[in-house]
Structure 1
Amino acid sequence: MKNIFIQGLTIVVLFFSTWFVLTKVDWMTILKIENRTNKTEEKLGEFFLETFKQSEQENTNPFVANAIDSIVSKICSENEIDKKIIKVHIFDKDEVNAFALPNGHLLIYSGLILASDNQEELSGVICHEIAHIQLNHLMKKLIKEVGLSVLISMSTGNGGPEIIGETLRLLSSSAFDRTLEQEADIKAVEYLINAKINPEPFANFLYKLSDNENEAMKYVSWTSTHPDSKERAEYIIEDSKNNATVYESVLSINTWGQLKVALEE
């Protein structure tokens, strides 16, 4: 009986010892999967951006670029995010949309800026997309929906036009699953508060998205695949309650007005 007990105890000790050792091994480094994925992400980002530019008009107005850069810089500096990671591109397009591409590319449509009643609404959406980038949601989504082997093939120029088109559609839509969307919303509130930007207008923006009678939302794409905008707005309000931060505007009232005028021209 004693020998059986000792044998059993030995098996348990060996099991947990082996498990502990295995958890300390950096398998991603050994197999070079992480490095390969990073290189694939970099190539995919450039590839998708160039493909997108072939069909859409990028805004090159320096005033517009500087105004948006001021918002992004404030968010990044106050949240210890490396600004060089976030590469902003503004496109002249009526759709109310913003989305991220692999390797930190953030695309913002002029329609989103014009549909925002104030800079805080726009800042909330920008924070949400930066959160997707920082939390690595883009590659998680692509690997799940497309597959790593297909992505690697695309990054080397071997993807067919159909799969390229479908992948771009996945990226430009808001088809993240519920968990990832909530993670990005909560992280966005954290970013906003740290940057002293009021998160309540971001919640109001989500309420506005759910209002089908709102003329400003005529060309809405952002969150269009998620009918739970009101629910998201409610937990954003809940998550930001009881916060004593004194909020500030990143842009002056005059600059915000001039930004809209520049985009309407």
Structure 2
Amino acid sequence: MKKIIFQGLLLIVLFFSTWFVLQQINWVTILRIKQTTEKTEEKLDELLWETIKTTEDENTNQLVLKSVDSLITKICNYNDIERSKIKFNVINKNEINAFAMPNGRLVIYSGLITASEKQEELAGVLCHEIAHIQLNHVMKKLIKEIGLSTLISITTGTKGSELIKETAKVLSSTSFDRGLEKEADIKAVEYLTKAEINPEHFAHFLYKINESESEIMKYLTWISTHPDSKKRAEYIIDHSKNNKVKNVPVLKDETWNKLKELVENQ
């Protein structure tokens, strides 16, 4: 009987202790910050993409877009990622680059597609960038390098277009912290494995462009913003070596070859 009474008193004490702790948290402030960040992210995406597309040549070929969409859709569907949250645009540019933007947007340069010998290599880079989005790395990077108050000022119109251009440059041409890069690589391996795409192709892509001839290095923007590619390839291989993956191509060979032909001729 005494034991039951003691347990009852203990539960009451725990309940009121928990209630007291929760009362000390300013949930209104936390929710407002979250809402502010989400609205800021949406507006940033709008402003940044408007800035980028005024200076770049966007690819609107339907076969190109449908092919890339097929890769992204499979990655999302097999990893319980809400497909509607991931947007993408393809830019006609020789640079081997892709980068994530706020509010779930991917910007993919045609040079990345032409540099990918296999569709699985392109899928690996896409998984890496989707991981940055899903792990909220994009806003973490911008808040760290630019500041939340400045980002909010941009979206409310109190900061000029030059700062918007600088923000776009931060996303497209500067690297994440090494810890975030490794986290995105490991998550990419998980995404690829679940989507039945062998992660070793992603590692091979990193090895390959790490050893590229010097005359094309100026086009390797993705590697300059994602350093230590050889080491990254090694731990991608190490992290995926115990995963038994049945590689199932997303695109037919003729579709993949046509995609590469189209972006090469833009």
TM superposition score normalised by structure 1: 0.89
Cα offset for 1:224? Answer: 0.4
Match of 1:60 in 2: 60
Residue 222 of structure 1 aligns with an amino acid whose one-letter code is: W
Match of 1:9 in 2: none
Native 8 Å contact 2:48 2:165 kept in 1: no
Higher mean displacement: 117-126 or 218-227: 218-227
Deviations 1:203-239 (CA, angstroms, capped at 9, x unpaired): 1111122214176655110030343111111100001
SS of residue in 2 equivalent to 1:32: helix
For the structure 1 residues 77 and 28, does the alpha-carbon distance in structure 2 shift closer, same or farther, using more than 3 Å as the test? farther
Native 8 Å contact 1:189 1:236 kept in 2: yes
Match of 1:99 in 2: 99
**Counterpart-to-counterpart distance in 1, 2:41 and 2:234:** 34
Deviations 1:161-200 (CA, angstroms, capped at 9, x unpaired): 3322221111002410000000000000000000000110
Cα offset for 1:100? Answer: 1.1
Match of 1:6 in 2: none
**Counterpart-to-counterpart distance in 1, 2:236 and 2:19:** 40
**Counterpart-to-counterpart distance in 2, 1:140 and 1:28:** 22
Native 8 Å contact 2:200 2:237 kept in 1: yes
Residue 45 of structure 1 aligns with an amino acid whose one-letter code is: D
SS of residue in 2 equivalent to 1:114: helix
Q: Which runs of 5+ in 1 are unaligned?
A: 1-12
Deviations 1:93-121 (CA, angstroms, capped at 9, x unpaired): 11000001111111000000001111010
Aligned residues: 252
**Counterpart-to-counterpart distance in 1, 2:212 and 2:262:** 27
Match of 1:43 in 2: 43
For the structure 1 residues 18 and 130, does the alpha-carbon distance in structure 2 shift closer, same or farther, using more than 3 Å as the test? same
Deviations 1:18-57 (CA, angstroms, capped at 9, x unpaired): 8981598463655510001100000000110011001001
Residue 239 of structure 1 aligns with an amino acid whose one-letter code is: H
- Could you list the runs of 4 or more consecutive aligned residues of structure 1 that deviate by over 6 angstroms after TM superposition? none
Native 8 Å contact 1:29 1:35 kept in 2: no
Match of 2:237 in 1: 237
Q: Give the superposed CA RMSD.
A: 2.3
Q: Which runs of 5+ in 2 are unaligned?
A: 1-12
Residue 37 of structure 1 aligns with an amino acid whose one-letter code is: T
Native 8 Å contact 1:196 1:248 kept in 2: yes
**Counterpart-to-counterpart distance in 1, 2:24 and 2:246:** 44
Matches for 1:28-177 after TM superposition, within 5 Å? 30=30, 32-177=32-177
Deviations 1:106-141 (CA, angstroms, capped at 9, x unpaired): 100000000111101000000000000000001000
Match of 1:219 in 2: 219
Cα offset for 1:63? Answer: 0.5
Native 8 Å contact 1:174 1:223 kept in 2: no
For the structure 1 residues 106 and 227, does the alpha-carbon distance in structure 2 shift closer, same or farther, using more than 3 Å as the test? closer
Native 8 Å contact 1:206 1:229 kept in 2: yes
Cα offset for 1:88? Answer: 0.9
Match of 1:21 in 2: 21
Higher mean displacement: 29-38 or 212-221: 212-221
For the structure 1 residues 192 and 50, does the alpha-carbon distance in structure 2 shift closer, same or farther, using more than 3 Å as the test? same
Identity within the alignment, %: 61
User: Which structure shows the bigger proportion of residues in helix conformation?
Assistant: 2
TM superposition score normalised by structure 2: 0.88
